[in-house]
Chain A
Amino acid sequence: MSPGPASAIDFDEGEGLDWPDSRIRGEAMVTTADDKFDAVIVGSGAGGSMAAYMLTKAGARVLMLEAGRDYNPDEAPMLNLAKDAPLRGAGTPDKPFGYYDATIDGGWTIPDEPYSAAEGSEFIWWRTRMLGGRTNHWARNSFRMGPYDFKPYTRDGLGVDWPISYDDLSPWYDKTEKLIGVYGTNTGLENHPSSGPGVLLDPPKFRAPELFVKAGGDALGIPVVPARRAVLTRDMDKRQQCYWASPCGRGCSIGAAFQTTTSLIPWAKETGKLTIQTGAMVYEVLLDKSGKASGVRYVDKASGAHREAQGRVVVLAASTGETARILLNTKPNGRSEGLANSSGQVGRNLMDTVGSGFSAYFPSLEGRPIYNEDGAGGLHAYIPFWQYKEIAAGKIKTPRGYHMEIGGGFGEPGIGSFGGFDGYGAGLRGEVKKRYGARFGFTQRGEMIPNANCYAEIDGEQKDKFGIPTLKFHWKWSEHEYAQVEHFQNAVKELVDRLGGTLLNEVKPPAEAISTGGEIIHEVGTCRMGASAKESVTNSLNRTWDVDNLYLTDGSVFASKAHKNPTITILALSMRASDHIATRLRTGEL
């Protein structure tokens, strides 16, 4: 299906938009009090907040629309006790990552805001409805994509290349890391680029089990190196360094673990140029007669009224799923393919990280001397992919790499920590003491190659409580991902074996061991950037090919999904695109 070039679309100021529309409900359309902003940004997560920060710093008047409620990081229960939470804080369908997880009004489901999966597909979608979005609870793992990751097609003929190279983004990675604060070291390893001088913060010391795994890795040629995380190991302005307690997923009110609600958003507010509207569920982009974006329409959740917000430039950063949904639900002249979709690629190329994992038990770690292993609340060490040369030489089956996130030790005992015991009484107490700190986990986080079976589209039969048509996901892993899981399984077996440990989970066939689509919450790619308007949705500066003043600054623009966790790249791309937008605003081009 080729809908033809955007210029062929006959725009007539929103007339003829078939859906969704307040007129259906007979409600009056209300325009926001502020007549017109320089920029309207949809979404307050990583991509939207970076855009808001950059544009307000450049002097632009910005309106940020967030579908969820306002959130004050002081709500984070940083030092609260599990015993003071219902069910000892165990995860439930209401709070899947536990009672104290920072996620508000979200999780795998949101009441009356459904999504669906096509028959034969399984896909799950983690959403939030809160200021700052998923940055309030993410793992803060911040691994740069490398030179290979931007040109995967060139390397192996699979997927597509990005229209930019690592060198294009490298300075923006530096600026982003310096701004938000990232700990780590420059390892000099292949395709794991170094940050500029003085950019990284000192990483925290390895914990004892990490030193143990490093010794095993050293013997096998598997690198175990300091991780990179957006957690402060020294004070930065008003943000305090990590105090080596509190799980980061609860949110970090002291500002140590990066989230937009303690950084980019308050910094943008300080300029006096940022207006934030929460409870604003955006459902379509407004267009003027010339085909340019003039703003967005949204449901004001408090009143139920449909409103319009207007700006010289529109930036969508609503998340990979929601950004595609807004574009597909925007129908200039009722055209079924949606907005900015002359390539037919909106919603396509959906990717997530390849995930699987093992827990292992190491008898030699029994009875270790106890000390505080909470540390920075996440990875101090990790295993970056180490076999690019073997891939290039055709020696291993998986075409793309993965990294291992590793962790365990003297963690906080929880309601789910005590499976696999036997007996009762004094003998049981003795076993608990013996085993504490002897368990360690290995998690695969790998690259997925985009395939034609993985995409999102509008579900023609379902709408949410606002009347907005919802997404339907299609999903199927390919043999490439299965081969990668098998590689990971073999590597973990070898490593655990060398360290005298035993796997606590059975080694399942890759198709069973692999994560469900969406489960790793790294979904990207539904509006990929590319070198030509025929094959991609945006150009190399995140600008949609079809609409000159419409930008996408979330994970939707990813052309590939490297094994590196996406947030740091979303931030760097958004910073780069926003710098470009600011220039265009300043010169009057927009």
Chain B
Amino acid sequence: MPHALIQKVPSPETLEDASLTIDRRTTLRWLAAAMAAAAPLAACGETKSGFVWAVPQPITGKGYGKDPSLMDPIVPWPLTLTKAELAACAALCDLILPADGDAPAATAVGVPAFINEWISAPYPDQQADRALIIPGLAWLDAEAKSRSGGVFAKIGEASQKAIADDIAYKGKVKPGMEKAGDFFARMRSLTMGAYYSTQEGWQVIGYPGNTPGSGPYPGPTPEAIEHIKGVIEKMGLTYAQP
């Protein structure tokens, strides 16, 4: 692939909303910006509301290969979500993980851009997610239009939550919306994974690691030892160091 295609911190051209393009990366580069998503290939089921879960065109490009640069990673595949899909994606990501006190919202750490990278990858797991997520984003918009007269990103939090409440809880997914329930669960898992694997996410969850230390491994802090000792003894067991 010609080197000129490589763009540092690309802004997918089709996007205007800055919150969708904030790039989390310092080293990771995308080889190509967003391109229009290909037309759906075939319908694979219709809900009562008339929505068709269409199978999106699969990705056929190359992956990063078996000896990619580990120090200077590149994403070689084009990003494929449309502006409309990205807008729905961003709204959903922020519904799943909204800003909360010091904790940033999902869009603030680049989660929608990551979802775009994920569902555009030419690997089997990501392709399976693509087949669920692209029609799922269209479902969100269709559902929002039929309930509130606008696309999902524009109907406001209360209306968004009304839709989410129908599909977000195990065993309580509204009959007929099972596929949307699967879509939501997958989006939740990806959004959380993408969010908490950033340094901002580490701070929120409390992960203190991947930080070099020196000397012997300190082990649990005195507070952590006191705590685990209490837990152990409460269970009628005996605390003992090896």
Residues of A within 8 A of B (CB): 69, 75-77, 79-88, 90, 92-95, 99-100, 104-107, 110-111, 185, 202, 204-209, 211-212, 214-216, 218-219, 224-226, 233, 242-246, 250, 364-365, 368-376, 380-381, 410-419, 421-426, 428-429, 432-433, 436, 498-500
Is there a chain A Cβ closer than 8 Å to B240's Cβ? yes
Beyond known contacts A87-B118, A93-B123, A372-B208: 12 more, CB 8 A cutoff: A83-B199, A88-B197, A93-B63, A208-B224, A214-B242, A219-B238, A364-B231, A368-B224, A369-B223, A381-B242, A418-B196, A424-B96
Is there a chain A Cβ closer than 8 Å to B241's Cβ? yes
Contact B66 A371 (CB under 8 A): no
**When each residue 67-108 of chain B gets 1 if its CB lies under 8 Å from chain A and 0 otherwise, what string results?**
110110111000000000000000000011110100100000
Contact B25 A243 (CB under 8 A): no
The listed residue (B66, B74, B202, B207) touching A110 by CB distance below 8 A is B66
Alpha-carbon separation in the docked complex, A426 to B101 (Å): 10
Which of B64, B168, B192 has the most chain A CB atoms inside 10 A of its CB? B192
Contact A83 B209 (CB under 8 A): no
Contact B231 A83 (CB under 8 A): no
Alpha-carbon separation in the docked complex, A217 to B143 (Å): 53
Is there a chain A Cβ closer than 8 Å to B145's Cβ? no
**When each residue 11-54 of chain B gets 1 if its CB lies under 8 Å from chain A and 0 otherwise, what string results?**
00000000000001111100000000000000000000000000
Contact A95 B73 (CB under 8 A): no
The listed residue (B68, B74, B205, B234) touching A413 by CB distance below 8 A is B205
Alpha-carbon separation in the docked complex, A214 to B242 (Å): 8
Residues of B within 8 A of A (CB): 24-28, 63-68, 70-71, 73-75, 95-98, 100, 103, 114, 117-118, 121, 123-126, 164, 168-170, 188-190, 192-194, 196-199, 201-202, 204-214, 216-221, 223-225, 227-228, 231-232, 234-235, 237-242
Contact B189 A86 (CB under 8 A): no
Contact B208 A104 (CB under 8 A): no
Name B76's closest neighbour in chain A (CB-CB): A86
Contact A413 B201 (CB under 8 A): yes
Contact A418 B192 (CB under 8 A): yes
Contact B169 A245 (CB under 8 A): no
The listed residue (A69, A211, A380, A412) touching B210 by CB distance below 8 A is A412
Residues A371 and B211 in contact in the complex (CB < 8 Å), given A87-B117, A417-B196, A499-B235 = no
Residues A94 and B193 in contact in the complex (CB < 8 Å), given A422-B169, A423-B169 = no
Name 5 interchain pairs, CB-CB below 8 A, sorted by A: A75-B71, A84-B28, A87-B126, A110-B66, A429-B97
Alpha-carbon separation in the docked complex, A364 to B229 (Å): 11
Alpha-carbon separation in the docked complex, A432 to B226 (Å): 23
The 8 tightest CB contacts between A and B, nearest first, are A205-B219, A415-B193, A418-B192, A413-B196, A204-B217, A243-B212, A374-B209, A215-B237
B71 CB to nearest chain A CB (Å): 6
Contact A372 B231 (CB under 8 A): no
B214 CB to nearest chain A CB (Å): 7
Q: Which residues of A contact B64 (CB under 8 A)?
A: 86, 92, 94-95, 99
Contact A80 B197 (CB under 8 A): no
Which of B73, B100, B221 has the most chain A CB atoms inside 10 A of its CB? B73
Contact B121 A207 (CB under 8 A): no
Q: Which residues of A contact B169 (CB under 8 A)?
A: 422-423
Contact B240 A208 (CB under 8 A): no
Contact B67 A416 (CB under 8 A): no
Q: Which residues of B contact A206 (CB under 8 A)?
A: 219, 241-242
Contact B121 A245 (CB under 8 A): no
Contact A428 B242 (CB under 8 A): no
Q: Which residues of B contact A107 (CB under 8 A)?
A: 66
B202 CB to nearest chain A CB (Å): 7
Contact B197 A75 (CB under 8 A): no
Alpha-carbon separation in the docked complex, A261 to B135 (Å): 48
Name A204's closest neighbour in chain B (CB-CB): B217
A252 CB to nearest chain B CB (Å): 12
Residues A415 and B239 in contact in the complex (CB < 8 Å), given A84-B25, A86-B73 = no
Contact B96 A87 (CB under 8 A): no
Residues A104 and B67 in contact in the complex (CB < 8 Å), given A212-B231, A219-B238 = yes
Contact A216 B237 (CB under 8 A): yes
The listed residue (A84, A204, A216) touching B216 by CB distance below 8 A is A204
Q: Which residues of B contact A421 (CB under 8 A)?
A: 188-189, 192
Alpha-carbon separation in the docked complex, A246 to B212 (Å): 8
Q: Which residues of A contact B65 (CB under 8 A)?
A: 94
A225 CB to nearest chain B CB (Å): 6
Contact A215 B206 (CB under 8 A): no
Contact A424 B168 (CB under 8 A): yes
The listed residue (B197, B206, B224) touching A83 by CB distance below 8 A is B197
Alpha-carbon separation in the docked complex, A185 to B242 (Å): 10
Name A111's closest neighbour in chain B (CB-CB): B66
A473 CB to nearest chain B CB (Å): 21
Contact B194 A415 (CB under 8 A): yes
A242 CB to nearest chain B CB (Å): 8
B209 CB to nearest chain A CB (Å): 4
Alpha-carbon separation in the docked complex, A81 to B217 (Å): 22
Contact A212 B232 (CB under 8 A): yes
Residues A79 and B220 in contact in the complex (CB < 8 Å), given A84-B27, A429-B103 = no
Contact A207 B235 (CB under 8 A): no
Q: Which residues of A contact B75 (CB under 8 A)?
A: 86
Contact B213 A80 (CB under 8 A): no
The listed residue (B67, B68, B118, B218) touching A372 by CB distance below 8 A is B218
Contact A436 B211 (CB under 8 A): no
B68 CB to nearest chain A CB (Å): 7
Contact A418 B212 (CB under 8 A): no
Q: Which residues of A contact B239 (CB under 8 A)?
A: 211, 215
Q: Which residues of A contact B28 (CB under 8 A)?
A: 83-86
Residues A99 and B242 in contact in the complex (CB < 8 Å), given A429-B97, A432-B192 = no
The listed residue (B74, B217, B240, B242) touching A376 by CB distance below 8 A is B217
Contact B219 A204 (CB under 8 A): yes
B201 CB to nearest chain A CB (Å): 6
Alpha-carbon separation in the docked complex, A123 to B99 (Å): 47
B33 CB to nearest chain A CB (Å): 16
Contact B212 A371 (CB under 8 A): no
A47 CB to nearest chain B CB (Å): 24
Q: Which residues of A contact B197 (CB under 8 A)?
A: 81-83, 88, 412-415
The listed residue (A75, A212, A374, A432) touching B196 by CB distance below 8 A is A432
The listed residue (A87, A374, A436) touching B205 by CB distance below 8 A is A436
Contact B210 A245 (CB under 8 A): yes
Q: Which residues of A contact B70 (CB under 8 A)?
A: 75-77, 80, 99-100, 250
Q: Which residues of A contact B235 (CB under 8 A)?
A: 215, 364, 498-500
